[in-house]
Structure 1
Amino acid sequence: MTDIDNKNQYPKKNKWEMPDTYVIVFLVLLVVTTATYFVPAGLFDREEVDGVERVISGSFSAAESNPAGIMDLFLAIQTGMVDSAGLIFLVLFAGGMFEVIERTGAIKAGILSAISNMRGKEFLLIAVITTLFAIGGAVGALANSVIPFVAIGVVLARALKLDAIVAVAITFNAAFIGFAAGFLNPYTVGIAHNIAEIPLFSGMLFRIISFAVLVSITIWYTWRYCRLIMNDPGRSMMGVLEAVEEDPELEADFTKRHKFILMWTALALLFFVFAVVQFQWTTDHMAAFFIIIGVVAGIIGGMNYNTLTLTFLEGCKKLVYGALIIGLARAVLVVMENASILDTLVNALSAPLELFPPVLTAVGMFIINSIFNFFIPSGSGQAAIMMPIQIPLADMIGINRQISVLAFQFGDGLSNSIYPTSGPLMASLAVAAVPWLKWARWFLPLFLILSLASMVLLAIAVFINLGPL
């Protein structure tokens, strides 16, 4: 092969591009491995309280140094994957379940049915569609999988003579606002609760209230913009979409079979919540239950055994990227624990934070997670890295672990809708042909309002000492 052929096959890229999430996490792993040679080793004494291991404040002492070698670095990746196996399969099986449900057409038909039944009731239509997508995000049904639905949002915006920003707002943005509240989200809350060693999906009532607050603000802000355009199309940031009288994309029969599938899924998830409280089900139970939900949904949807199997595996395959990042992120913790520098880091962070009241500390955790999400825009990966640091830190400064989880999920969730490092955001904007700068200009005021509301909710959680139940 000639040099010219080589140049054509591997063209030089002069344009800088943002490193992939895996690259960033691996760089973090390299930095932590290097730090084991310079950061003093140390350990806290720990005690078991109600079956949960907690750090004893003021018990930090020096320990024998054990820096990590190059082989230790790569062994940590293997160990991280094995240690995170339960969480990895939880994410994979969730992907399989939701792929089966989506492939039956039940979700799309349900949404289009809501659109069809609310023609002429613009506010109610915007509110209902936004709420449906938000619920999808809150239960983990719509994260990356929301991208194809943005096209439906475009069709709806066109029918209402609105613009493409509204299309993204009522689909992608609604789903990720719900994702931030995540009262039944296996990818963030489920993983964080597992790491925090508190009952799975505990504190759900407060999260449902938070969901209602954040989604209500989002509906208000979106509808305010819609009314602005309806009264004066020239106020649109994008220009209104050209209306089409009859759009075939808004036509889909909402059959009894679709209704049974959605009803089965809703009842199954409600039963899971009951089982968590009544039978102390864990993430392992949830992973197993996802298989059951997916199989039954596929049978109701009329899939034969081969189609059902391949569809479930296709859904698992789509989430391999997000699932394995948990294991890689866990490797960072493995290196820090083996070298005994994790407690040193927690001790260094706790000293200045102890000077602040718990409310400001909780808000600080929210801000730190919001910033960190720019570099690692993966809820599961961020949980795997941040929660092992935040949990002992929360114990040290007297913050309930539930509040620490809440600060993480708000910080991770809300910022997904504005950072250009968020793959689902950029893909959704591409589907709707919305430039990121115009979206950021529209969303930034809402982001600030939602962030302020999240801080108020965190303050309330601190005042009522939101517990594990």
Structure 2
Amino acid sequence: MKFLKVPHAFVLIYGIVILAFLMSYIIPAGEYERYENENGVTVVDETSFSFTEQTPVHWTEIFKVVPAGMIDAASIIFLIFIIGGAFGMINGTGAIEAGINKIVSLLKDREIILIPLTMLIFSFGGATFGMAESTLIFIPMGIILARSLGMDAMTGMAMVALGAASGFAGGFMNIFTVGVAQEIAGLPLFSGMFYRIIIQIVFVAIASFFVYRYGKNVQRDKTKSYVYALEQNAEQESYDFKRFTIRHSFVLGIILIGFIFIIYGVVQGWSTGTDLAAIFLAMGILSGFAGGNNANNIAEDFIKGAKEVTFGALIVGLARCILLILEDGTIIDTVIYAVSSVLEGFPATVAAVGMFFTQFVINFFIPSGSGQAATTIPLMAPIGDIVGVPRQSVVLAFQMGDGLSNYLFPTSAILMAGLSIAKIPYEKWLRFVWPVMLTWIIACSLFMVISLLIGYGPF
């Protein structure tokens, strides 16, 4: 219904910019002192808050702040563009699609292995290059494959979508979510990845259990399908598995070497944003030539890949405007002080779990990972400093809250597009996915508590 329609993310975030401008006239100005901790991260001194002279923002700033925000977030914006372009060059070779198709075609009669393995493969896509829109091209393949096993469209959709969601929420090397959030929080890029890999594997295991159990029930009794009417009218289709060539193996080898190099850099502590962009760029160019493309094709693929991440890149700059307005009005620390004063009454573990649920709900309104990171992390990170939640745990709360709810809320364009392709009504999907989501949420709460108990830090 029209009255339930959520505004475009750009409209919503610019509305928050205007609200922040108005609040600079209402909220008392205040400041914390900040210092560098032992890891070189600038953090808040929780005992130093004091009210200061009111400095309301001039109305012209609501327009001037937009280019200022883009400039202030330029390093993150161009990192997203370069890495998006690099993956465009890789995708232009067809190696990833051919590789997935090859593995799936080899195991299409062994569902007990096929379902978890397929979901694990898609999870690594979500965890590395933020596989989201690109899952849509695999949904028809997943559905045809599921039907060939005697299952249904729901099983095929879930194999692809929930697999990618598991990795996106784990996000051990997802520049578009974890990378942006860590950059804003002052953490080394992709630090803490080993804990996130464990989380990703647990998410995949949970989703695989539910998908396999549901698929086997449908296999035994077709009337158990949540989309039984759809299956009765489904036409027999075939999927043309792309031939996997020696060139594709070279491309996948280059990607593997590149990721090993990135992980090595993270462990050694020298993988900065510039290093990361350079490695991805080299991976993209080398993959393009190894895949048989010429220089012009590679350049076109780079532009195509960069175009696909334009929304996420620009929303980071727009969200930075909120921070600039709050800082210019000297009210950001007052907001932090007010929220942290409430949370200080609770144990740090409760505050950490509360941060996860907050990010989960916010994703209903801002279904963009990079946009949500740029909007919330500037507030959540210093709040974490005060209430005893490490910044790495703050980022963890964001990435899990954002990643999982993308496949629950109807405001997610990727979910609704996928359901449209699969011809699955949203209410049928909700009936299927809620037990998975509930189990994921419980697991997330436990992971947040564990992150505090182990002192989840930069590395």
- Give the TM-score range, shorter chain: over 0.9
Matched, 1:208 2:197: yes
Residue 381 of structure 1, aligned match among 350, 355, 371: 371
Deviation at 1:16, TM superposition (A): 6.9
Matched, 1:178 2:152: no
Q: How does 1:287-326 map to 2 (within 5 A)?
A: 287-326=277-316
Matched, 1:86 2:75: yes
Q: 1:328 corresponds to which letter in structure 2?
A: L
More divergent stretch after superposition (417-426 vs 149-158): 149-158
Q: C-alpha separation between the residues in 1 aligned to 2:269 and 2:191?
A: 13
Q: 2:146 corresponds to which letter in structure 1?
A: A
Deviation at 1:161, TM superposition (A): 2.5
Match of 1:43 in 2: 31
Matched, 1:26 2:14: yes
Deviation at 1:14, TM superposition (A): 7.7
Deviation at 1:400, TM superposition (A): 1.1
Deviation at 1:322, TM superposition (A): 1.3
Matched, 1:346 2:336: yes
**Normalization by structure 1: what TM-score?**
0.94
Change (3 A) 1:241 1:254: farther
Q: C-alpha separation between the residues in 1 aligned to 2:4 and 2:446?
A: 39
Q: C-alpha separation between the residues in 2 aligned to 1:241 and 1:450?
A: 32
Q: 2:392 corresponds to which letter in structure 1?
A: Q
Match of 1:395 in 2: 385
Q: C-alpha separation between the residues in 2 aligned to 1:408 and 1:25?
A: 17
Please give the per-residue CA displacement for 1:181-214, whole angstroms capped at 9, x wherever unaligned: 1011101111111111122111111111111111
Q: C-alpha separation between the residues in 1 aligned to 2:150 and 2:206?
A: 23
Asked if the contact 1:146–1:172 (Cα under 8 Å) also holds between the matched residues in 2, the reply is yes
- Mark the runs of 5 or more structure 1 residues left unpaired by the alignment: 1-12
Q: C-alpha separation between the residues in 1 aligned to 2:292 and 2:74?
A: 32
Matched, 1:454 2:444: yes
Q: 2:23 corresponds to which letter in structure 1?
A: A
Residue 75 of structure 1, aligned match among 54, 59, 64: 64
Q: 1:162 corresponds to which letter in structure 2?
A: M
Q: How does 1:155-194 map to 2 (within 5 A)?
A: 155-194=144-183
Please give the per-residue CA displacement for 1:204-258, whole angstroms capped at 9, x wherever unaligned: 11111111111100100110100110111100000247788882x2422111111
Q: C-alpha separation between the residues in 1 aligned to 2:251 and 2:233?
A: 35
| Helix, strand or coil at the partner of 2:42 | strand
Match of 1:429 in 2: 419
**Normalization by structure 2: what TM-score?**
0.96
Asked if the contact 1:157–1:241 (Cα under 8 Å) also holds between the matched residues in 2, the reply is no
Q: How does 1:260-299 map to 2 (within 5 A)?
A: 260-278=250-268, 280-299=270-289
Q: 1:378 corresponds to which letter in structure 2?
A: S
Q: C-alpha separation between the residues in 1 aligned to 2:2 and 2:440?
A: 38
Q: C-alpha separation between the residues in 2 aligned to 1:149 and 1:79?
A: 39
Q: C-alpha separation between the residues in 1 aligned to 2:456 and 2:181?
A: 16
**RMSD (Å) for aligned C-alpha atoms:** 1.7
Deviation at 1:173, TM superposition (A): 2.1
Q: C-alpha separation between the residues in 1 aligned to 2:304 and 2:214?
A: 38
Match of 1:9 in 2: none
Deviation at 1:34, TM superposition (A): 0.9
| Helix, strand or coil at the partner of 2:60 | helix
Matched, 1:62 2:62: no
Match of 1:122 in 2: 111
Q: C-alpha separation between the residues in 2 aligned to 1:18 and 1:196?
A: 28
Deviation at 1:292, TM superposition (A): 1.2
Q: C-alpha separation between the residues in 2 aligned to 1:157 and 1:180?
A: 24
Q: How does 1:185-264 map to 2 (within 5 A)?
A: 185-239=174-228, 240=231, 247=238, 249-264=239-254
Matched, 1:411 2:401: yes
Q: C-alpha separation between the residues in 1 aligned to 2:203 and 2:308?
A: 29
Change (3 A) 1:268 1:314: same
Please give the per-residue CA displacement for 1:6-52, whole angstroms capped at 9, x wherever unaligned: xxxxxxx9887431111111111111111111011100011222322
Q: C-alpha separation between the residues in 1 aligned to 2:183 and 2:315?
A: 16
Change (3 A) 1:353 1:228: same
Please give the per-residue CA displacement for 1:73-94, whole angstroms capped at 9, x wherever unaligned: 1221111111111111122122
Asked if the contact 2:130–2:175 (Cα under 8 Å) also holds between the matched residues in 1, the reply is no
Q: C-alpha separation between the residues in 2 aligned to 1:321 and 1:416?
A: 16
Deviation at 1:424, TM superposition (A): 0.7
Matched, 1:143 2:132: yes
Match of 1:365 in 2: 355
Q: C-alpha separation between the residues in 2 aligned to 1:354 and 1:179?
A: 31
Deviation at 1:289, TM superposition (A): 2.0
Residue 94 of structure 2, aligned match among 105, 126, 138: 105
Q: C-alpha separation between the residues in 2 aligned to 1:16 and 1:387?
A: 27
Q: C-alpha separation between the residues in 2 aligned to 1:284 and 1:85?
A: 12
Q: 1:254 corresponds to which letter in structure 2?
A: F
- Mark the runs of 5 or more structure 2 residues left unpaired by the alignment: none
Q: 1:395 corresponds to which letter in structure 2?
A: D
Q: C-alpha separation between the residues in 1 aligned to 2:155 and 2:162?
A: 10
Q: C-alpha separation between the residues in 2 aligned to 1:276 and 1:120?
A: 39
Q: 1:428 corresponds to which letter in structure 2?
A: G
Q: C-alpha separation between the residues in 2 aligned to 1:113 and 1:369?
A: 37
Q: C-alpha separation between the residues in 2 aligned to 1:131 and 1:120?
A: 18
Please give the per-residue CA displacement for 1:325-351, whole angstroms capped at 9, x wherever unaligned: 000001000100111111000000011
Match of 1:7 in 2: none
Please give the per-residue CA displacement for 1:75-121, whole angstroms capped at 9, x wherever unaligned: 21111111111111122122212222222111111111112211321
Q: C-alpha separation between the residues in 2 aligned to 1:143 and 1:257?
A: 25
Q: 1:296 corresponds to which letter in structure 2?
A: L
- Identity among equivalent pairs (%): 39
Q: 1:110 corresponds to which letter in structure 2?
A: G
| Helix, strand or coil at the partner of 1:70 | coil
Please give the per-residue CA displacement for 1:383-437, whole angstroms capped at 9, x wherever unaligned: 0011110111011111111111111111111111111111111111111111111
